[in-house]
Structure 1
Amino acid sequence: MSLETDGRELSISKRIKTHFTNPEVLPEFVLELGEGETCTVCHGVLRNAFQLCCGHHICENDINIIFGEKEEDTCHIPGCQIKFSKNSVFPDACKRREISKLSVYCSYKDLGCQEKLPWNGLSKHMATCRFQGKHCDKCGQAVLLSELEEHMSKTCEYRETQCFYCLENISMKDIENHQSSVCRKVPLNCPNECGVQGMPREQMNDHLIQCPLKKTVCPFSKHGCTFEGTKDQLDIHKKDMISLHLDMTMKRSSQQHESLFLELKTTMDKVIRENARIPELIEENERLQKETQANKISIQEMKKFLASNGEKVIQTGRLLEDKASVETVDKLKKEVITMKDTVLATNQRVTNIEHRGGVQAGRSGGGNSKEIENVEKQVGLLDIRLCELDLRLQLQETINFDGVLMWKIREYNRRKREAVSGKTLSLYSQPFYTSRYGYKLCGRVYLNGDGAGKGLFLSFFLVVMRGDFDALLPWPFQLPVTLKLLDQNGTNQHVAEQFLPNATSNSFQKPTTEMNVACGVPCFAHHSKLETDTYLKDDTIFLRVVVDCTNARTSF
């Protein structure tokens, strides 16, 4: 047969269709397969054989495995090593017929069929085989079809039967264990042999509590007595064993006394060691008293120094209130850094003075302690003022005046757990503006959803805040808003929602408090979509608010 059509070679896949193929069912062969009947690649039975140029054979399914992206390969038989290409491999119909005629067992051999027949006749035989069967759905045992019903009703160990006592349906495999230890209706005899018989298991516990023959341990068991018996036997035992119980009690008391004596001795030794240190501590106290006197002058100088620094902080605060230019911000940053260094140095000096004068402060009536306490208060106020200036400076540096908010939320999983538990329901972003003298806005997000999105979605809202220039702006707020959850894979699969503010909504009127009621999208992003690598990476998400300021109007 020619392998060319219109001057081009047929592909291997097309050539396969023109040749005889082996049966689909893989059986158990009667004889062990020989070298010419197994694949040189997978070493299993040669199925739909293809011949190599060296004469060896491989299975049809192994062709793509050995070639992959290659055009050539080498025969896998040791000692052969002959190279061949895809075009040189061809289906061997004779070998396929030869393999199909190999003697095999019927697939129902385990059920009793001893038939041996050619592989290519197996499917036809199995269709009429009298040993056809299937596996039991409950126990998995292979059963003839003709015997399956009887197996399911009489012999399967997992078939259900009704408990004679409680009438519950239990599998035959478990019925014995059920009746011996589980069934609440099984009649039992009292284990104390008090004469009660045939009592249901569910009532036996109550009986054992009141049983006249129940066993009770001796009250002196904690002292070492091992007796156990009925109430009458216990009464006799306590009368007969008074002297033994007294000996046990005395022995236990003696052991406790020895233990307490050792503990007391250890405590006394510790007290003696501490008393030996008293003269040393007195000497150290006297030395610190002298140092405290010398520190009074240093404290006075420090007060003056703090007063001058406090004035600098006040002046810096006034300058920060004027946030008109970038040059001012840079200058204030340098002053804040200098002020931080000064406060840290001052705190260190106060700490040193406290360390040296701590003992004296407790013994000299508290005079220096009050002065140090005043200094600490001044340093604390200075720290608070400095933190406020630092926060205002950070806001000044990060504030945006082009109507765009880029919001990075770290520690997403922890914050979401807090939202689910009700600890922190929502988060607010830093403020941003539509222009330098425009509307003041911020974002608000509910990580566990709000309203219709609660528990399933991330809810995203815009909040109109009270700004410095509201009196000069047109109201209500009417600029188009776009909310986005940003894709972190670079494929631009952002989740976005756009809306135009409702002129009648109170959320977009001129604010009369610090911020209006938030308005946005309760069902913004489903958790199953948000919490994938596309949007959540390194436990961080990015949200973005864009206000279209193209048609923004002002009255100035």
Structure 2
Amino acid sequence: MAAEKMKSKPKQDVRSVMVSEGGYDFDFVQSPPDDLLCNICQLPARDATLSVCCGHSFCKCCMDCYLLSNTMDCSSCLYCRKENFQSFPDKKTTRLVLNLQVFCPNKSQGCSWVGELRSVEDHLDKNSTASNIGCLFTEICCSNECGVVIQRRLLEDHLKLECELRQVKCEYCDSTGSYQWINGSHQQECLKYPMECPNHCEVGHVRREEMSVHLEECPLAIVKCPFAVVGCDIVVRREERMGHMKEAVEKHVECNKEAIVELERSKTTLKEQLSAKEQELTTVKNALQKAIDDKERELDRVRNSIDAIEDKLKAKDQELAVVKVTTENLKKSIDDKEKELRKNSEDSKCELEINMKQLKEMFEQELMKLREEVKVTKQQLQHQVEINEQLQQDLQSYDIPKLLPHLIGTGNQLIPFVIKLTEFEKRKSRQESWHSPPFYTSKQGYKMHLMVKPDGLTGNSSHVSVGLFLMKGEHDDQLTWPVKGVLSIQLLNQIGDHNHGELVKYKFDECNKACQRLVHSQSYGLSENIITHKKLYTFNGKWQYLKNDCIFFRVTNFQ
């Protein structure tokens, strides 16, 4: 009992010290053997370390935490408590741990990848050479740096349809930019953007660059009377201005008379003001002439000062000549020094070439080592490809009918998916139509549903007919109308994964009413006879489409 207590106590303390450190915490295909588990964290050992005294394996990080712990006697073995504890890397255990088969960490998101533990990092890496593009279910940042974090498999649709920073073209001009900018500030400035006339005239919408010209001609614009300058304060619409001028002729004549009288008064006042200004101008002219005479005398004094400065400059020129001779002597001395330095540089160049030759030889040796490592890596990749091919063969042998209940859609599904029709005989006897749950052609695509008539298009027919109808969807405003494309539907064989019903293709033609956007609840559909009753009821060991009064339809794709 005492020995058990001594073993259990250190493990509990180390876990508290390690926090998030430890072995590989993955979802393994099979439970790892006990001899590969770390005796501290009880997970498959990461960078395994082997104890010399007892032969137990530990994670390197767990062992480092144990050795750094201040709460335990680190000089003794963690497991057997033997003194003078020693350990060394356990490469065999590390290799066996990395050979363990694990599921992808994104399994809960839908990834079905299974592989060796050593391949997980390559599988998750978006630039991996082993999987080309990495795990499709790994969350990555949008490459346009819009701030959105999204699964790699959804990135392409995001960049085309959702990203606020995707590049689009303005529908009114040739400007190109981000979706956020085009639908924001650009539309507030776009010269081709159609604007409604503020006067609500019959022209309707006018380009922003043409609005100022339009307002000068708009018949509904409010303008002043042409005689506003003489006192008419009436404002009318431009189209009513001529009528106003005809009706207010007498008023305009009276305004002109008053304006003429006022002009005469202004003329007399201006003459008096002009006379006063002329007297003021004469006074200013005399004062200005006196100021000019004073400035000329001051200018003479400045000229005398300039002559004195020129004499001083001549003396400075003589001093500069002496400095020039001294400079030439210094330049000659510098040239001699430069020649000496160039000679020393040539000697250094020879020494450098010798060093470069030695470095080249070292580089070639390292290159040979890298080539050997690449050769080993290629062999490992070839082994992984053989394992993947074996997995594909195993998947082809799975029983499709057993998987059908897990594939059936419940409404608002995305293509591809499977639809189940129950109580077939009851619906056929009543000549009753059955409507499937709605589904979308893509994440932001067209919304549709199937209408199945067990007794054919006209009743008492020899076929089962399937109609395809459009529905009002959440993304109709962002889609192109009418619908263009082909949607494929297939009747599934409930015995195995072969001999399915023929693929029926519904072609959406822009001339067909069934391809138009729904405005009211009424809609038109595309209908086809998908299989005969004779083949539906046939059971010959190869196919059986009707089983337990149920049939299955698979909506495969929309192109």
TM-score computed with the length of structure 2 as normaliser? 0.24
TM-score between the two structures when normalised by the length of structure 1:
0.25
Which gives a bigger RCO, structure 1 or 2 (Cα 8 Å, sep 6+)?
1
